[in-house]
């Protein structure tokens, strides 16, 4: 895979970003963040057409040769742009390169919101306990606000597959069921039972929204005062039922405090209450329960895919092996709990 160097990136940015004439990359570091994309932090000095210079702090994300997430730079880049300025804090997008030949994979460039935290595990430390309630309220309120935004004004149809209130749940179910079956080489009778129930009971949606796809602690930036500064990682964004994001955030597997606090932040009913406040409408409990079970299918498909790309040497990033080893059994346990069998 093409090595990204400061010289290569500087020349590329100077040639491709509107208004940038000369770019000197002062520092570039790969960050150990996420399992689906390569992430680099860049400090650059940029000169414009007038010769004036300024410092830019950037985040570069590159698609690897193989990943457990079936996505692309276009979806994430345009998702950020669609939601920017609509009451959901996100970074500003700067440039998109979809040709994998240019930089060894499709690449997106965004502003780097420097100096904030994103660790979900840091929030379990005693020093952060006083901030958890406010962070929880912010997270689920923002999630509810995302659910309330009218998709008609976002232009999502330009880069996302279409969905209707009648078929949104079935489209997602079939996508993740098929992904699991493609990538799995073992028998999973618990997940087979989940798949049968989901297939029998796909619900219609009361409304459609822009679904983030991975909305949970660990995918937002927060400051030292416990204020959320940006929601990150939109590569699985799509048009769907707003209950999907809520159910994902409530997953037992994401109870990072190893107790009943979902996303390591708040009890389930507290989270639902804040989501409803942000959304302006009530949760449909039957629909939520279906999406909680769907979350188990989607997550297990991701962990299974991580196993595959690791075993086949398509991507030897150690986080893929670690995540699959750690999470597959935990996900089966969560399935049994959701089905009332544990």
DSSP-derived letter for residue 283 is: -
What are the residue boundaries of the structural domains of the chain, listed by start? 6-111, 122-338
Q: Using pLDDT thresholds of 50, 70 and 90, give the confidence band for residue 331.
A: very high
Residue 310 has what pLDDT?
Answer: 76
- pLDDT at position 35 is 54
The tokens for 271 are: 């989270």
Residue 137's pLDDT band, with cuts at 50, 70 and 90, is very high
Sign, CA dihedral 170-175-176-182, equals positive
Contact 38, 8 (CB under 8 A): no
The pLDDT score that the predictor gives to residue 34 is 57
CATH topology of domain 6-111: Phosphorylase Kinase; domain 1 (3.30.200)
- For the segment 202-216, the average pLDDT, to the nearest whole number, is 98
- 162-173, pLDDT tens digit by residue? 999 999 999 999
pLDDT at 2 over 70: yes
Percent with pLDDT over 90 in the chain: 82
Closest residue by Cα to residue 77 from 99, 96, 63, 90: 96
The structure's pTM equals 0.92
Please answer whether residues 49 and 21 qualify as being in contact, where contact means their C-beta atoms are separated by less than 8 angstroms.
yes
- The backbone torsions φ and ψ at residue 316, rounded to the nearest 5 degrees and listed phi first, read -100, 25
Under DSSP, is residue 142 helix (H, G, I), strand (E, B) or coil?
helix
Strand order, beta sheet including 107-111:
22-31, 38-47, 53-62, 107-111, 93-97
Residue (of 61, 108, 111) closest to 90 by Cα position? 111
The whole-angstrom separation of Cα 85 and Cα 124 is 31
Residues 158-199: pLDDT tens digits? 999 999 999 999 999 999 999 999 999 888 999 999 999 999
State the Cα–Cα distance between residues 180 and 297, nearest whole angstrom: 8
Spatial distance between the Cα atoms of 78 and 99, rounded to a whole number of angstroms: 16
Which tens digits make up the pLDDT trace of 74-94?
999 999 999 999 999 999 999
- Using CA atoms, how far apart are residues 246 and 263, in angstroms rounded to an integer? 11
Residue tagged 């219609």 (tokens): 204
Give the model confidence (pLDDT) of 20-65 as tens digits: 999 999 999 998 765 567 899 999 999 998 999 999 999 999 987 6
Q: Domain 122-338 adopts which CATH fold?
A: Aminoglycoside 3'-phosphotransferase; Chain: A, domain 2 (3.90.1200)
Residue 68 clears pLDDT 50, i.e. is over it:
no
Phi, psi of 94 (to 5 degrees): -115, -45
First to last CA, the chain: 45
pLDDT of residue 36: 63
Tell me the C-alpha distance between 4 and 15, whole Å: 16
Cα 92 to the center of its chain, rounded Å: 16
| Polymer length in residues for the chain | 342
pLDDT at 326: 76
DSSP class per residue in 32-54? ---SSSEEEEEEEEEE-TTS-EE
């Amino acid at each position: 895979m093409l090595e990204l160097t400061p010289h290569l990136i500087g020349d590329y940015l100077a040639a491709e970003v509107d208004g940038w004439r000369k770019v000197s990359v002062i520092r570039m570091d790969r960050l150990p963040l996420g399992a689906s994309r390569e992430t680099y932090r860049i400090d650059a000095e940029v000169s414009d057409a007038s010769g004036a210079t300024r410092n830019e702090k950037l985040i570069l994300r590159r698609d690897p040769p193989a990943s457990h997430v079936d996505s692309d730079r276009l979806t994430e880049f345009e998702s950020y742009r669609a939601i920017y300025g609509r009451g959901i804090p996100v970074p500003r997008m700067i440039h998109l390169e979809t040709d994998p030949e240019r930089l060894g994979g499709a690449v997106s460039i965004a502003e780097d919101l420097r100096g904030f935290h994103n660790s979900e595990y840091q929030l379990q430390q005693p020093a952060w306990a006083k901030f958890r309630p406010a962070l929880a309220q912010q997270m689920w309120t923002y999630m509810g606000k995302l659910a309330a935004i009218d998709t008609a004004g976002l232009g999502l149809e330009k880069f996302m597959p279409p969905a209707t209130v009648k078929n949104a749940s079935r489209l997602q179910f079939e996508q993740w069921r098929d992904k699991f079956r493609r990538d799995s080489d073992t028998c999973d009778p618990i997940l087979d039972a989940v798949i049968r129930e989901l297939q029998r009971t796909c619900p219609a949606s009361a409304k459609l929204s822009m679904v983030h796809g991975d909305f949970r602690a660990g995918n937002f930036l927060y400051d030292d005062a416990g204020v959320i500064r940006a929601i990150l990682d939109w590569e699985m964004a799509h048009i769907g039922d707003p209950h999907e994001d809520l159910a994902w955030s409530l997953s037992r597997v994401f109870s990072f405090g190893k107790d009943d606090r979902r996303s390591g932040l708040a009890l389930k009913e507290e989270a639902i209450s804040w989501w409803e406040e942000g959304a302006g409408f009530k949760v449909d409990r039957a629909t939520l329960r279906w999406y909680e079970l769907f979350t188990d299918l989607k997550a297990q498909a991701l962990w299974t895919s991580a196993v595959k790309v690791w075993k086949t040497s398509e991507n030897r990033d150690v986080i893929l092996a670690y995540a699959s080893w750690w999470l597959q059994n935990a996900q089966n346990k969560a399935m049994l709990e959701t089905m009332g069998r544990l």
